[in-house]
Amino acid sequence: MATLFPALETPSDRPALRFGDRVLSYRTLAGAAGALAGRLGGAGRVALWATPTLETAVGAVAALLAGVPVVPLNPRTGDRELAHILADSAPGLVLAAADAELPAALAGLPRADVPTEGDAPLPAVAAGDEDPAFVIYTSGTTGPPKGAVLPRRAVAATLDALEDAWHWTAADTVVHALPLFHVHGLVLGTLGPLRRGGSVHHLGRFEAAAVTAALGAGGTMLFGVPTMYHRLAEAVATDPALVEALAGARLLVSGSAGLPLHDHERIAAATGRRVIERYGMTETLMNTSVRADDLASRPGTVGPPVRGVELRLVDESGTALDAYDGETIGEIQVRGPNLFTHYLNRPEATAEARTDDGWFRTGDMATRDAAGHLRIVGRKATDLIKSGGFKIGAGEIENALLDHPGVREAAVTGEPDADLGERVVAWIVPVDPQDPPGSQELADHVAGRLAPHKRPRTVRYLDALPRNDLGKIMKRALHG
Ligand code: MCA
Ligand code: AMP
């Protein structure tokens, strides 16, 4: 296949990556990534210690140049989840910044420090379109996260479809503060600009002042999850510099969860700018987006399918709906070059995810209006929680909580949260009602085993969980 990064073939001194104060030009990126790529051939899969740093971006580019699949690791992953990901993906090497301290679980793996300078030539492209580019772990309703295997053509197809939808060019600088171990921050926010020959400006961590400065310093597009736009919507009331910065951006893009209308409205009222939403999923990369030239469309929709994506709504029997009425609700199913190939080591889950004729079942429920614009209204599975834009399975948290010696029974649900969209709530039946484990202790327990973003933000104690005649926990009764 053709290279994923044409701009590396004729390197220039234009900035490719900026992380805080550290900047790498296309020339230096090509030289550094080329040097690392030359050492990766035959490594099998490589794990990438995905701190929000230059090194993570260089490491991902190097592995893609070498045709070696990348398994991004959340550097905050707890011990149990990390052990699962390592056992499941069996990387042959870990890529990390030279100053990164790696946990004991990675000590047995050879390590390659990611360089940020070098002048090696690019390796010849050895990988094909269907070869894997990434294995990205994503939560399901039960059990540990599954590794979605994303082929190189899916990465190329999705980024090129967004070029079309967003009029994305080499002149754009994408500003963001997203984590680099998921599709949003890594594929869209980092590889996206590099595929166009444009720039990335990563803020390190999300803060309104940093957004203001980066947009003021030449940023043209802002990518964020709704929690970030919610915080900006709060801030615009008292921050004229932020208002000016947002008003001057070419495109404000939100995704990973739905952006509430109230936040849309507050940002539009203060800045005169419309935040556009796009809808994607780890397994499918991007499915739909409001187009850059369609800023008049109503907030709250995620737009029509992007180029190359076939999309249908189906009813409960799996029959395709032909309604374009903005009312009839069906499950979104998609087909196209943007799709993953399989879940690593999970043939049954892979088979279940698709219909016999190759449509991927997203589990998201939506309506579609006369113009073909989707409005997402919910999810089929109540056991999937979206908090801060992270997908979190209730089952994995329940299992972690049940490992705590003070917990007899546990159920996990999501509750609406103005900042996070949804908040993880744990319902606990303690072993000793007189001396239950505290909420902070349970949050630390989950954060240490799984990841901090999966920790319960609220813990409620019960004498017993509501169960039906078959003994199944009735989660709907919990909130009643
Ligand atoms: C708190 N912390 C803890 C604990 N409690 N650490 C260990 N144990 C604990 N008990 C730490 C955290 O690690 C963090 O450290 C700090 O305290 C604050 O964490 P937290 O409260 O969780 O942060 P937050 O304010 O809730 O974060 C909001 C956020 C974040 C920044 C918006 O949710 C975020 O980055 N979301 C992005 C999600 C995303 O990229 N999703 C894409 C996947 P410290 O202060 O040092 O940081 S979806 C996708 O890819 C699809 C394809 C799509 O469509 O996009
Ligand atoms: P993940 O599996 O973490 O990649 O998350 C994918 C899920 O995020 C989708 O299945 C949707 O439920 C949700 N999602 C992503 N973008 C949007 C959006 N713009 N509006 C509503 N939900 C979204």
Q: CATH number, domain at 456?
A: 3.30.300.30
Residue 2 has pLDDT above 90, yes or no: no
Residue 275 falls inside a structural domain: no
pLDDT at position 480 is: 65
pLDDT digits (tens, 9 = 90+) for 172-190: 999 999 999 999 999 999 9
Residue 315 CA to ligand 2 center (angstroms) comes to 20
Q: What is the mean pLDDT of residues 107-115?
A: 96
pLDDT at position 223 is: 98
pLDDT digits (tens, 9 = 90+) for 259-276: 999 999 999 999 999 999
Lowest mean pLDDT among 55-64, 96-105, 122-131, 299-308: 122-131
Among the candidates 174, 189, 214, a domain finishes at: 174
Residue 331 has pLDDT above 80, yes or no: yes
Residue 67 falls inside a structural domain: yes
Q: Which domain holds residue 24?
A: 6-174
Q: Looking at the CA of 286, which ligand is closest?
A: 1
Among the candidates 147, 174, 201, a domain finishes at: 174
Output 215 or 143, whichever has higher pLDDT.
Answer: 215
For residue 50, name the pLDDT band (cuts at 50, 70, 90): very high
Q: CATH number, domain at 131?
A: 3.40.50.12780
∠ Cα 442 448 454 (to 5°):
70
pLDDT at position 398 is: 97
Residue 1 has pLDDT above 70, yes or no: no
Residue 235 falls inside a structural domain: no
pLDDT at position 230 is: 98
pLDDT digits (tens, 9 = 90+) for 360-393: 999 999 999 999 999 999 999 989 999 999 999 9
Mean pLDDT of the chain: 96
d(CA 367, CA 376): 7
Residue 470 CA to ligand 2 center (angstroms) comes to 32
Residue 1 falls inside a structural domain: no
Neighbours of 121 (CB within 10 A): 11
Spatial neighbors of 255 by CB under 8 A, at least 6 apart, are 184, 188, 223, 225, 277, 278, 279, 280, 389
Spatial neighbors of 153 by CB under 8 A, at least 6 apart, are 1, 129, 130, 337
d(CA 106, CA 440): 28
Residue 324 has pLDDT above 70, yes or no: yes
Residues with CB under 6 A from ligand 1: 76, 178-179, 182-185, 206, 225, 227-228, 255-256, 280-282, 388-390, 420, 443-444, 447, 452-453, 455
Residue 52 CA to ligand 1 center (angstroms) comes to 12
| For the chain, percent of residues with pLDDT exceeding 70 | 100
**pTM for the whole structure:** 0.97
pLDDT at position 165 is: 98
Residue 301 falls inside a structural domain: no
pLDDT digits (tens, 9 = 90+) for 15-37: 999 999 999 999 999 999 999 99
Q: Looking at the CA of 75, which ligand is closest?
A: 1
Of all protein residues, the one whose alpha carbon is nearest to atom 45 of ligand 1 is 205
Residues with CB under 6 A from ligand 2: 138, 183, 255-258, 277-282, 302, 362, 364, 376, 379, 386, 391
Residue 322 CA to ligand 1 center (angstroms) comes to 39
Q: What is the mean pLDDT of residues 396-407?
A: 97
Among the candidates 174, 194, 213, a domain finishes at: 174
Residue 365 falls inside a structural domain: no
List Cα–Cα distances, 142 to 135, 236, 397, in angstroms.
Answer: 19, 40, 9
Of all protein residues, the one whose alpha carbon is nearest to atom 37 of ligand 1 is 389
Residue 471 falls inside a structural domain: yes
pLDDT at position 295 is: 73
Domain count, the chain: 2
Residue 231 CA to ligand 1 center (angstroms) comes to 14
Residue 227 CA to ligand 1 center (angstroms) comes to 10
Residue 79 has pLDDT above 70, yes or no: yes
Terminal alpha carbon distance of the chain: 55
